[in-house]
Amino acid sequence: MNQKLRVLHITPWFPNPDNKIEAIFIAEHLKALNNYCNNHVLHIQFGNKRNTESDIFETIKIDRLTLKPIFDKWIFKEKLAYKAILSYLKINHQKYGVINFYITYPNAIHINRVVEQFPNVKFCMTEQWSAYHTQFHLPKLNKGRKRIENIFHNNIPLFTVSNALGEDIKTFIGDETKRFKIIPNCINVSEFNYHKKETSSDFIFTSINNWSPMKNPIVLIKAFAIVLEKYKNMRLVLAGDGVLITEMKKMVNDLNLAKSVEFLGRIQKNEVVNVLKKANIYCQSSNYETFSAVCIEALATGTPVLATNIGGMKDFVNKNNGILVNSLEVEDWVIALEKGYLNYEKFNKQDLSNDCIAIYNSKSVGKLYYSELMRVLNEK
């Protein structure tokens, strides 16, 4: 029997004792890959005390290094992470066929030097960070930005979770020829699957988020208020917490929407399933989304999606499973909400669920990830 490919994933984010849901999407990605590879994680984080420990997250083995920088500045963190990675690889590199920098900054800041020192190991990078869309809020000639840009000025294979993120990285580094492969996030289809909607007199729009300005709930609430004047049986269910929640509740009260808008507060993953299965349409009025797993989860339950025509959502929302809204103007969202309501019966909920699950189930995503890693391994 052939031995499984052994892969080391070096990442600054991963579930840990202090934050068990940190970057849970990375853990889900690697769990999908676990069907095909032996995965090991080197989790490098920063803290007030240096520490080394081994851990296991479900089936994934972890070596966790907590580093203490001399000064709380990124240039010192970059150097410290680089030295720690070199030290770790000198001892352990021979165990792995592929080493993957999962979330490239700051760990891959000197990836070209690392590759040179370990010529018998294949390297790649996987990226999910939305900061490339905002260019890390750094001006073009900023030295820190230049260091981040240099991570990608090479031929090391790059994987992103969406076409939008790959294009953002190309723009960020100023290289339109930069190549990347898309490996999307995956969902738990044993939980998120088709559920026939219960017959009800209420038509439910739902949105689930950590409510920050990026998620832009205000446009959704304002648009809903206008549409509600025409269609009295509509309800809006908002789940999650965040910095905008107080403003959102005030707006609902000011617009006299209290009887038609329900706030569920922060909910657990198993509760997300139930909320989506009760919804008629899921809404995501974000300014930007690198991927938007919750939209995929909604589609998997047979719930059409209304989403801003930006970011990763352009990869999977189409006329067969939802509506892409071309702006964040309230008027355009009014049109989209009404269109979704009036055309709801035209959506084949079973088909849109099946189509979504076929692509984003963990087995399919894991197989795709594995095939790309094998391609990296076999490149000459």
Residue type, 313: M
Q: What is the pLDDT of residue 268?
A: 87
Beta bridge partners of 159: 126, 181
Q: Taking Cα atoms as reference points, which of 283, 334, 288 lies closest to residue 310?
A: 288
**Fold category of 203-360 in CATH:** Rossmann fold (3.40.50)
Q: Which residue has 């080493």 as its token pair?
A: 99
Q: Taking Cα atoms as reference points, which of 78, 134, 130, 83 lies closest to residue 106?
A: 78
Q: What is the pLDDT of residue 128?
A: 96
Q: Taking Cα atoms as reference points, which of 168, 175, 128, 183 lies closest to residue 13?
A: 128
Cα separation, 104 vs 168, whole angstroms: 14
Q: What is the pLDDT of residue 37?
A: 94
User: Can you give the pLDDT of all 380 residues of the chain as single tens digits?
Assistant: 457 899 999 999 999 988 888 898 999 999 999 989 999 999 999 998 899 999 898 889 999 999 999 898 999 999 999 999 999 999 999 999 999 999 999 999 999 999 999 999 999 999 999 999 999 999 999 999 999 999 999 999 999 999 999 999 999 999 999 999 999 999 999 999 998 888 788 999 999 999 999 999 999 999 999 999 999 999 999 999 999 999 999 999 999 999 999 999 999 888 999 999 999 999 999 999 999 999 999 999 999 999 999 999 999 999 999 999 999 999 999 999 999 999 999 999 999 999 999 999 999 999 999 999 999 999 87
Q: What is the pLDDT of residue 101?
A: 98
Q: Taking Cα atoms as reference points, which of 297, 274, 279, 280 lies closest to residue 346?
A: 280
Measured CA distances, 339 to 9, 299, 306, 332 (Å): 44, 18, 10, 10
**DSSP letter string, 157-207:** -EEESSHHHHHHHHHHHT-TT---EE----B-TTTS---PPPP-SSEEEEE
Cα separation, 275 vs 26, whole angstroms: 24
The dihedral sign for the CA sequence 19, 295, 237, 211: positive
Q: Taking Cα atoms as reference points, which of 45, 77, 81 lies closest to residue 144?
A: 77
Q: What is the pLDDT of residue 1?
A: 42
Sequence ranges of the chain with CATH classification 3.40.50.2000: 5-186+361-378, 203-360
Which CATH number among 1.10.580.10, 3.40.50.2000, 3.40.630.30, 3.20.10.10 corresponds to the domain 5-186+361-378? 3.40.50.2000
Q: What is the pLDDT of residue 2?
A: 59
